Structure 1
Amino acid sequence: MEDLLTSSAWALESKYYGLAKQRIQARWAQGLPALAAEEAKPRRYPHVDKDGYATMWHAVAEAVGNGILHPVEGLASAMSQVLAGPRGGSSANTSGSKVAVLPIQGTVQKRGGYCSLGTKDLVAQLNAANRDPEIAAIVLDIDSPGGQVDGTEEFAQACALSAKPVVAYIDGLGASAAYWIASQASFIYINSASTGYAGSLGVLCMSIDQTAFLEKQGYKVEILRSSRAVDKARLNSVEPLSDVVRASVQADLDQIGETFIAAVERGRAGKLSTKEDVFTGKVYRGSDAKKYGLVDAIGSLQDAVNKAAQLAQSGSGAGKLASSITQTLQQNGI
C-alpha cells in the first residue's frame, strides 16, 4: 500500500482524488474491482531510479521541447559519487555538455517528504552535478510555497558557491524559503506574467493558545518541568504566551529575517528596485516580480536550460558568493 500511495498522484493530490473516486465508483457499479490490474501496480516515475531513490535530471539545450527530461543514474547508490550520466547523444551547445535540472517542488524541508526532496538531498545533488564532467550548468525547477528555515540557508549558500552556473526557473510559485534559494542563482525565470508568483520574503512563527477552548471543554492542563528546566517548551499551545517568550521568539524571527534579507540583497545585487520594499512579505505576480527585480525574465524551462548553457559557455555566473567574498578580501588587502 505504501508503494501505491507514494507512486500514485491520485492518492496524494485532492484534484486527482475526485476524478479517481468517480472512476472507482463507476467500476463498483459494474461489479468490477476498484482498480484495474495495471492501475493497482505501483508506478515507477522518471524521477525515481531502479533502487527507488529520487534522481537528478539532465537536459540538453534546445532539446527539452518534447517534455522529456532524462534521469541521471548512479546518484542513488552513493550520493557522494560522481554522477554516471548517460553517454552519447548530441547537444545544441558547442561543448556538448548537459544541464542538470534539480526539482524544488512542494514544501521546502531539510529531510524532504513523500512528494519532495529535502535540502540535504538537493545539496548533495548540486555537489554531484558540480563534480560531473558531463554537466556544464544547473537549473533549479521551483514550484514551492517555501517551508522550513533549517537547511534553507545551507542549500542557498551551496547554490551561490556553485562552481557551475545556476539558473532558477519558477514554475508557478517561488515563495519564502524557495525564493531565498532562487535568489542565489545567476538568473531567474518565472513561467508567467499573470499566473506565476514570487516573493513572501520574511519569516513567521505561529502560536495557538488553546487554553480558553480546553477550559470550556472541562480540561485544565498543567505542565510540570524539572527544577532547572524552567524555560523548557515555553512556546506551546496549552499555556498563555508570556511577554518574555514573545520577545525571545520575536528576536529569533528578526535575526533570521535579516539573514534572509542579506542573502537576497547579495544574490540580487543591483537588480532589486528601489521603488518597492520587497521585504514586507508580499507575494508578487510574475509581471510585478520582474518589474521590481525579483526575477529577470518571463520564460519557460527550456529558456532556463538554454540560459544555463549560455552562461556555461561564456564562463560567467559561477560561484557568485565566492567571487564577491574574494573581491572583498582583495579590496581590503587581505
Structure 2
Amino acid sequence: MTRHYALEAIRAQPWAILPTHLGAIEAIADRALQAPVLDILRADGHAERYRACLSAVADTGKKMDGTNSVMLNRQGVATIPVMGPIFPRANMMTEFSGATSLSSLMADLQAANASPDVSQILMVFDSPGGATTDLSNAASQIAASSKPVTAFVPGQAASAAYWLASQCSAIWMADTALVGSIGVVMSGGKQVEPDANGVMGVDVVSSNAPNKRLDVTTEDGQAQIRTVLDDLEAVFFQAVASGRNTTVDAVKQNFGRGGMKAAKSAISSGMADGVSTLADTLARLGAASPPLKPAKAAPRRAAALADLQARRKLSEGHA
C-alpha cells in the first residue's frame, strides 16, 4: 500500500479523537515511525501512563475467566480497562500503545453482566478517543447494562472515550485527569505534485456523484464534509446529554466546546461527579450494593426493558 492510499483509508472515515493522536495513527499506518507527531506523543508520557494504569487495574483482582481483560475482586467489582485509541475491531493499530477494540470491550462487558459473581462494573478510561464506527452501539450497551457501571478516569477520557464514559452511572476522576474533546473530525489532503513514485493521483467520479471525491481545500468541499460531521456530532451530543442527565444545549455550551477540562472544572460543569482514586472508587463500589447514582441509570434501563417488552407484544400480535 502506498503512502497516498494508506492515508486516504484513514481520512475517509470520521474520528472522535484528539488531533495529535489522529496524526500519529496516520504516521503509523504510513510506517513513518520517525514522524514528528510520534516524537510529540513519545514525549508526553502516555505510554508509561498506560502501562502504570494497566498494572494498577491488574492489581485490583484476578483475571475473569472467558474475558479479554476483566479483573474481578472479592467484593464482586469487575474492572475493565479502556486504554489508548479506540477502534471497532482489533487491527494493527490495537498493537500500538495498548489500543482498545470495541468488539473485545463489549464482549467483556457482556461477560461481566452475565457473571453471578459480579455486582458492580468499573470501567477505567485513559484514551484520546478513536473511530466513530460502532461507537453509538457500544455506548448504548453501556447505558443498558443490567448491572451498574461506573467510570474512573486516571488520565484522560477524550472524545470517543468520553462518549462511552458519559453512559456510565457516574464518572470519577483523578485530580489531574482530563475529559472532553466532544466533537467529530475528518482530515484530508490534496496532492499538488507527483508522489515519490512519480505518479500523480487522479480521481474521476460518475456524473451523479460529485460529492464522492470532495476537494477539502475548497469551501464547498469543507461544507459537504461538515454536514456529515454535524450529523454524527448530533448523535454524540444527544448520547452525552442523556448519559449525563442534562440537555443538548447544556452540552454545547458547558462541556468544553470541543476542548478538554480538568477535574475541578469538569465537575462544576456537570461533565463528571467527583475526584477520587482508583483504590477509593473500588472501595466505594465494593461496599455498595445499589449503584452510586441509581436515579440516572435506572430510567434508561427501564426504558430499554419497556421497549423490548413492547416489541415482543407486537411480535406476538402478528404471530
Change (3 A) 1:104 1:219: same
Which residue in the other structure is 2:186 paired with? Answer: 205
Code of the residue aligned with 1:137 in structure 2: it is Q
Stretch moving more, 271-280 or 128-137: 271-280
Q: Does 1:223 align with 2:199?
A: no
Deviation at 1:147, TM superposition (A): 1.0
* d(CA) in 2 for partners of 1:270, 1:170: 21
Identity fraction in percent: 25
* d(CA) in 1 for partners of 2:292, 2:276: 22
Which residue in the other structure is 2:266 paired with? Answer: 289
Which residue in the other structure is 1:152 paired with? Answer: 135
Structure 1: segments with no counterpart, 5+ residues: 1-12, 18-46, 49-56, 59-66, 92-96
Deviation at 1:285, TM superposition (A): 0.9
Structure 2: segments with no counterpart, 5+ residues: 1-40, 46-53, 315-319
Change (3 A) 1:274 1:228: closer
Matches within 5 A, 1:149-298: 149-192=132-175, 195-211=176-192, 214=193, 221-225=200-204, 227=206, 230-231=209-210, 234-235=213-214, 241=217, 244-270=220-246, 276-278=253-255, 280-298=257-275
* d(CA) in 1 for partners of 2:106, 2:197: 49
Which residue in the other structure is 1:300 paired with? Answer: 277
Change (3 A) 1:224 1:234: closer
Change (3 A) 1:216 1:123: closer
Q: Does 1:71 align with 2:63?
A: yes
Deviation at 1:249, TM superposition (A): 1.5
Cα RMSD (Å) = 4.0
SS at match of 2:88: coil
SS at match of 1:209: coil
Change (3 A) 1:326 1:217: closer
Deviations 1:76-118 (A, max 9, x none): 6xx9xxx9x98xx8x4xxxxx5111111000011114111331
- Give the structure-1-normalised TM-score: 0.64
Bigger-Rg structure (1/2) = 1
More helix by share: 2
* d(CA) in 1 for partners of 2:60, 2:230: 43
- Give the structure-2-normalised TM-score: 0.67
* d(CA) in 2 for partners of 1:151, 1:108: 10
Contact between 1:98 and 1:134, CA under 8 Å: does it hold in 2?
yes
Deviations 1:207-243 (A, max 9, x none): 22332xx2699967242547578558514xxx66555
* d(CA) in 2 for partners of 1:247, 1:174: 29
Code of the residue aligned with 1:189 in structure 2: it is W
* d(CA) in 1 for partners of 2:269, 2:134: 27
Q: How many residue pairs are counted as aligned between the two chains?
A: 255
Deviations 1:275-317 (A, max 9, x none): 9532510110111011111110000112322343455346963
* d(CA) in 2 for partners of 1:286, 1:108: 22
